[in-house]
Amino acid sequence: MTDTAKINLLDFDRQGLENFFADLGEKPFRARQILQWVYQRNVDDFAAMSDLSKALRARLSETAEIRLPDVAMDQKSDDGSRKWLLQLADGNCIEAVYIPAGERATLCVSSQVGCALNCSFCSTAQQGFNRNLTTGEIIGQVLVASRQLTADGISCNENGRAISNVVMMGMGEPLLNFDNATAAMRLMLDDLVFGLSKRRVTLSTSGLVPEIDRLREACDVALAVSLHAPEDALRDELVPINRKYPIKELMDACRRYIGEDTRRRVTFEYVMLDGVNDSDAHARALAKLLRNVPAKVNLIPFNPFPSTRYQRSSPERIARFQQIIVDDGLVTITRKTRGDDIDAACGQLAGQFQDRTRRRLRNIGVDVQDVAS
C-alpha cells in the first residue's frame, strides 16, 4: 500500500477514531491511546506506541499514518506574530497565523484552500477557490504550530500551553466545509487533544444562515459574524452571500444561536473602509441593528493587499465610529493590527494555490454547497 492510500488518523475526532478501531475489531479505548500519543506526547510513529499490541502497531503501520502539513515557510513579525505557509499533500499551500498577547495566544487557522465567497475587501477571496480542507489538514495546523512553539520554548501561561485560543478566521468559509470544520473543532475541545474551552474556540462566518442553525448542535463554540455593513445594499456589495441570506435573516439566526444563554454574545466583525462604511450614519445604523442582539463589535482597520481599491479609515474616523456605538451601549473594541509586516493581518492571507472554480458566487442563487463541492 502506498503512503497516499493510507488513512490519515488526524482526519478522525474521538468518535471517528473509535469507529475506525471498531472496524478493525479493536476496543474503543484504542482511540484514547492514539489521541494521547499524537496530541499529548507528540509521537507519530506507531512502532513507538508501546501500549499498543505489536500486531496492532504493525497493522497501523501498513494501513494508516499521522500526516501533518509540511512547513514551507515560517515568518516572524516584529510584533511577535508568526505566520506559517503550510504545504499540503497535493501541493496546495495554506496559511496559519499565531498572535500572542500576554497570557492569551491565538492561532488563526484556515478551513479551505482559498474561498469562493468573493468578499471584495479580502485578499483570500480575490485568489479564488480550490477545495475544502480535510479534518486532518485543519487540526494539523494547530498541531504543527503547537509543536513548533513548544520546541521554541514559547508558552502563554503557567500551564505551559503554547496556544490558548483558536479562531477559524483564516482562509475560507468554515461553514462551507461544515463536517470537517466541526470535527476539527471537536478535537480542539477534546480533553485528550488540546482541551480548549468552547469559549476559546471561535468560528467566523460570512453569514450562512442554515449552517449557523446546525452549528450549535454539532459543536457549540463561540460565533463571530463578518458583518461589515449595517444595511443590505452595501453588504450585498461587500459580502455577496448577503444576497442569499440578507441581514434580517442573519440577525434572526444569531439570536437563535445564543438562545437563552444570557452570558453569551455574538462577535460582529466590521472592517473599516475609508469612505465606504465608516460614516457617522453607518455607525448609528449599526448600533440600531444590534440593539436587540446579544453582541459585541470588533472594528478591524482594513489591511491593504495588492490591487485592492480600498483604503483604511483614519484612526480619528475609527475612534469617532467606535464612540457612537459605545454611546449606544454596545461593547466595542478596535482590533490592533498585528503581523502586517509579514502579510499576516486580518484579510491578508492568500496561500499558494490554483483557483479551480473561477465561479466565486457569480450566481448567488446557487446552492452554497455546490460552490464548495
User: Which residues form the catalytic set?
Assistant: 95, 346
The residue whose grid cell reads 471584495 is 120
In the structure grid, which three cell numbers stand for residue 227, read together?
458583518
Looking at this protein, which amino acid is placed at residue 2? T
C-alpha torsion 24→26→29→33, nearest 10: -60
DSSP characters over 240-289: GGGGTS-HHHHHHHHHHHHTT-TT--EEEEEEEBTTTT-SHHHHHHHHHH
First-last CA distance in the chain: 28
Own/partner contacts of 20-27, CB < 8 Å, gap of 24 or more, are 24/56, 24/59, 26/56
For the beta carbon of residue 256, count every other beta carbon within 10 angstroms: 12
C-alpha torsion 257→261→265→266, nearest 10: 0
322 touches 299 (CB < 8 A): yes
HSE at residue 141, side-chain half, CA atoms within 13 A, is 35
CA 46 vs CA 35, 55, 63, 205, 318: distances in Å? 12, 11, 11, 37, 53
Listed in sequence order, the residues at least 6 apart from 90 whose beta carbon sits closer than 8 Å to its beta carbon are none
Residue 313 per-residue DSSP state: P
- The DSSP H or E segment spanning 224 is strand 222-226
**Of 270, 346, 344, 353, which is closest to residue 313 (Cα–Cα)?**
270
**Of 144, 201, 146, 212, which is closest to residue 173 (Cα–Cα)?**
212
- The DSSP H or E segment spanning 333 is strand 331-334
